[in-house]
Every structure is written in structure tokens, then in C-alpha cells.
Amino acid sequence: MPNSFVKGLVGFLKDLVIIVAAALLISFLVKTFLFRSFFIPSASMEDTLMVDDRIIVSELVPDVFALEHGDVVVFSDPGGWLPNYDTPDPDLITAALDLIATVVGFGGSDSEDHLVKRLIGLPGDRVVCCDDKGLLQVNGKSVTEPYIVTPSSGDAASGMEFDITVPDDSLWVMGDNRYDSADSRYNQDKPGSGFVPIDKVVGRAVVVSWPISNWTWLDNYAGNFANAD
């Protein structure tokens, strides 16, 4: 075998290794500092997010860009919100593919350790359910929420009445599927009394990326909360 061919093959393999390593490094940095992917394991955010949807989450929120009312946020369990899943071990091929996807930022292997809800109350906000029309009130202002799902038309924005003030460095969150969401309302007996520490927030969900039929940008309906700021 000619030396020139061997040298060329070695050079090609070396370049290939460098390209692959650089691509993995860039993908890892994107995942670590910019964007991550999660899948939706429950119906608590329907019809905004459906079970098994995949979402792209911006990790620039809240470290670079501030959280806003109406943001769809992903956060790690504040303590006792999630059940203990008995998840079967995947086969080797599935595990390998998910590992590769996770490394490059498009896996969702830790999705079941996180929750997705809509941000209703920021630090210092008073959130009350409900006014005489069944709407939530934030800082004394009624908020129209076109994204929520209720059992029947005209039902209140929450089946549970509450009157809370969000403490410093915390959030009050609720699912869009308002009568089928174990959110802040139903975790007031857990650590944090139902409030989510801001340092538990992974980021803001910005787009549904899969399946293609569900692709959409995720609106925070900030205008609906404008009078509550």
C-alpha cells in the first residue's frame, strides 16, 4: 500500500475526528448555555402542549432575559411535586440514540424530572381566584386567559379558590389544562408552599418542535397581563 495513500487516509481520519469533536462540543455548549429539548409527559398543559410533544427551551431565561407573566416555563421539581416513576430500562439501541440526542441538545432523557407550567405570579404579585366572572386576578386586575381548558364553557379559571402573595425569588405557576394540573395550587403542603424558586427554572419554552403537525411558537400573552404589572 503506497505511503501516500496511508498518509492521506490518516489525514482524513484525523480531520474527521476533529470535525466530529468540534460538532459535539458546539452542540454541548448550545445545550448547556442556550437551548434544550424536552418532551411533554402529561396532559397538564393541553391544549397548548400535547402529550409527547417536544419543545425547545431557551436557557437565556431567566439569567439573560427576565421572566414575564404568561411565560411557559420548565423547572426542576421544587420538592414532592412529581411522583416516583418506575420507568423500565430502555433497550440498548433506544438508550444509545437517546444519549446521542441528549448530547447534541435534542434529547429529552431528563424530562420526567422536570415540570412545564405557565407563569402566573412573579415575586411580589398577589394572585386571587377568582373575580365575579371567574377570571384570575393579578394585583387586582382581572386577566383573560384564552389558552386555558376547563370542563365546560363559563367555568372559573380555577376550581380551587386561593388568595396568595408570591414571595421574593419565587413564582406561582399553573397548568393550561386548569382542572387537570397538579400545579402551585395543589402543592401548597409541599416544600416551598406551592411556590417555585426562580433558581429551579431551566428556561422558557419557545417553540413546539415535534411532531411537525403541532409546530408552533409559544405565546406568553404578555398583553393580557399588561395591566397587572
CA–CA gap between residue 22 and residue 219 (Å, rounded): 34
Cis peptide upstream of residue 211 (ω within 30 degrees of 0): yes
H-type alpha helices, 126-227: none
**DSSP characters over 23-65:** HHHHHHHHHHHTEEEEE--SSTTTTTS-TT-EEEEETTTTTTS
Burial of 80 (0-12, 13-18, 19+ CB in 10 A): exposed
CA–CA gap between residue 178 and residue 165 (Å, rounded): 20
Active site residue 141: no
CA–CA gap between residue 31 and residue 190 (Å, rounded): 31
* Upper half-sphere CA count for residue 191 (Cβ side, 13 Å): 8
The C-alpha cell of 184 is what? 402551585
Which residue in the list 37, 44, 111, 170 is annotated as catalytic?
44
Active site residue 31: no
Beta carbons of 163 and 125 less than 8 angstroms apart: no
Return the DSSP state at 176.
S
Beta carbons of 73 and 120 less than 8 angstroms apart: no
Which residue in the list 31, 58, 111, 117 is annotated as catalytic?
117
Catalytic residues: 44, 117
